[in-house]
Structure 1
């Protein structure tokens, strides 16, 4: 859904939902200055149009013992459609891969990988990532600590 289709009220609703996805329709309607029925209609329309993709709970990785965050750059031996699709299908199956981007520049892909230890990261590299056909180079960097981590998109209101 292109940005120009969102009016000010839609944007305000999205800001509220990003801040608290569990807020009730009544709470959202009060915060944005709209009565509950039209607010709910707008939320349903935003869901139907794909502006709202899904609702999730943000879980603290430290609580689950997932304290190692690595950024992994991957270069493939070939960049044809077959190699790209094979790599993308494989990494989509790895639960350790939190994000994967097709990149421009020196690396073909950038991944954010979350694991519980350096040993588990080594296992991930040796037994999963480097076994994907066509992977020719892997470079990893480890996050020491997060400085900025946002889940809410910057919506102009």
Structure 2
């Protein structure tokens, strides 16, 4: 789908506030409400807008610690990778999982309440995945930027 400037204005506004009223969205996009709503529906149907979510404050819901784990597999074959990805999908603490090209095989972003809960997760779940050879954890000292908005 080719996005024009109006589509991009709509998407920028929705990335800022997914609950924006259609009248306000139309005003920001430079449209009247009916054509604006039609465009939003087309963007949804085309899969440009995948879903709407609430962004939570992790500290206020018991998931205030965000860590990064670099994971190395015992082998690099498809079965090993598939076994790992299937196991990770069932772990709610893992909020991002990327299979990597480079030094490590996977990069995870993990959220937990604190270091003690991460240690339990690491020992009881992550390192018990059969395909995992080793895990190196990176602890960020400060989050300078965290956004869900894509540049348009």
Q: TM-score, structure 1 length as denominator?
A: 0.94
**How many residue pairs are counted as aligned between the two chains?**
152
| CA-based RMSD | 0.9
The 5-angstrom pairing of residues 53-132 of structure 1 reads 53-132=50-129
Unmatched 5+ stretches in structure 1 = none
Runs of at least 4 residues of structure 1 off by over 2 A?
A: none
If asked which structure has higher relative contact order (CA below 8 Å, sep 6+), I would say 1
CA distance in structure 1 between the aligned counterparts of 2:37 and 2:54, rounded to whole angstroms: 21
- How far the C-alpha of 1:25 sits from its partner, in A, is 1.1
- Of residues 6, 10, 14 in structure 2, which corresponds to 1:13? 10
- Of residues 120, 126, 147 in structure 1, which corresponds to 2:144? 147
CA distance in structure 1 between the aligned counterparts of 2:17 and 2:5, rounded to whole angstroms: 19
- How far the C-alpha of 1:26 sits from its partner, in A, is 1.0
CA distance in structure 2 between the aligned counterparts of 1:127 and 1:141, rounded to whole angstroms: 18
Superposed CA offset, 1:43-84 (max 9, x none): 000001100000001110011132221100000011111111
